[in-house]
A = this chain, B = another copy of it.
Amino acid sequence: MVLDNIGLLVTNDPMLDRGLLGVIRDASVVFDGETVVSVGAAGQTADERVDAAGRCVIPGFVDSHTHLVFAGDRADEFAARMAGASYTAGGIGVTTAATRDSSDNELRALALARLSEARRAGITTIEIKSGYGLTVEDEARIVRLAGELTPETTFLGAHLVPAEFAGRADDYVDLVCGPMLAACAPHSRWIDAFCEIGAFDVDQCRAVLRAGRAAGLVGRLHANQLGFGPGVQLAVEEDCASADHCTYLSDDDIGALVSGNTIATFLPAADFSTRQPYADGRRAVGAGVEIALATNCNPGSSYTTSMSFCIALAVRDMHLTIEEAVYAATAGGARALRRDDIGRIAPGRRADLVVLDAPSYSHLVYRPGVPLIKTTFVGGAVAC
């Protein structure tokens, strides 16, 4: 198949030497099944032709941080926060109770609806974490359900100490590192923990990451969301693929990120929804930190699937350029998932791409709040 008559094509291909986004005007892309086989000028031919009518085409968004499998709604908590209450990690317990009370089929239906919404938002690859079960059985079923939707599943048993372990956090960490990990590892690619005051401390997080690694998982870490802390440097030390949030970054944190192999994943929609200050993306990029943008879709602190919204915030409030933000939401996400088959439109890569109802990717920021995703191709097929 050929997607032809593309007015502006973002490839993210550095081989083209056409800026960060590897932009080609008047282009076409040929796929064979799930894979791109040719990127070139408009007018390439194939057995089937789709006309982009001069629109802009970009790589599909890679959303490397979501919590998509949950039940319940925390709109009231959100409204109270907007009226002045502060955000703490504690609300996770509310979602955990609702999730435990839901059947597999209920959770499956809810997560599928959110995945459809994410596809309509242009997200072609999505990471999904557990973390609203917090028992061996519930965590295992959440990663199993997540695995029905994506290969990028993350075991986040260390999301919050559940009420039944109050005052016994270390006992809970032992459970996470032992039987819970054993039950979840077969369904998971990643191990994650929430390193924050009110959640888990640096030693507990290190124990979780190391146990996960011993079970064949690769680390990622919730770090420095609500204040400065040891999370980012721990993530780098433990060779995590990503340190997520990074709202508060010290000079030492930035130095660690630059020297290590860990991507800084910014989640500006969470800063929006918790009224935190936005991360200083400009400073991080200026220092040479590799970054990603993700939605952090979850019912407490960031209930959005709109990567476009995240990109707009990243430009307006994190002072990234539009190009940097689009790159971070596509190629950056791929790096944060240590994937080299996605995040770029080039021969041999997956045919994951998005037709925008706009002549330029700039419109993702220039037209904030406007749904601009016209068609999402996942593995060469129209997903919505």
Contact = CB atoms under 8 A, between A and B. Distances in A.
A121 B372 CA distance: 12
Contacts of A366: 74-75, 78-79, 273, 303
A368 interface: yes
A78 B368 contact: no
Contacts of A186: none
A75 B310 CA distance: 18
A188 interface: no
A315 B365 contact: no
B309 A369 contact: yes
A296 B121 CA distance: 24
Contact of A362 (B79, B322, B359): B79
A305 interface: yes
Given A316-B82, A321-B83, A368 B272 contact: yes
Interface residues on A, range: 35 or more
Contact of A79 (B273, B306, B322, B359): B322
Contact of A370 (B75, B117, B363): B117
Contacts of A369: 121, 269, 304-306, 308-310, 312, 369
A370 B306 contact: yes
Nearest to A362: B75
A365 B82 contact: yes
A309 B312 CA distance: 11
Contacts of A76: 362
A371 B116 CA distance: 13
Contact of A82 (B74, B79, B310, B315): B315
A148 interface: no
A360 B75 contact: yes
Contacts of A18: none
- Among A78, A83, A304, A367, chain B packs the most CB atoms within 10 A around the CB of A367
Interface in A331-384: 359-360, 362-363, 365-371
Nearest to A74: B366
A359 B362 CA distance: 33
Residue of A305, A308, A365 with most partner-chain B CB within 10 A: A365
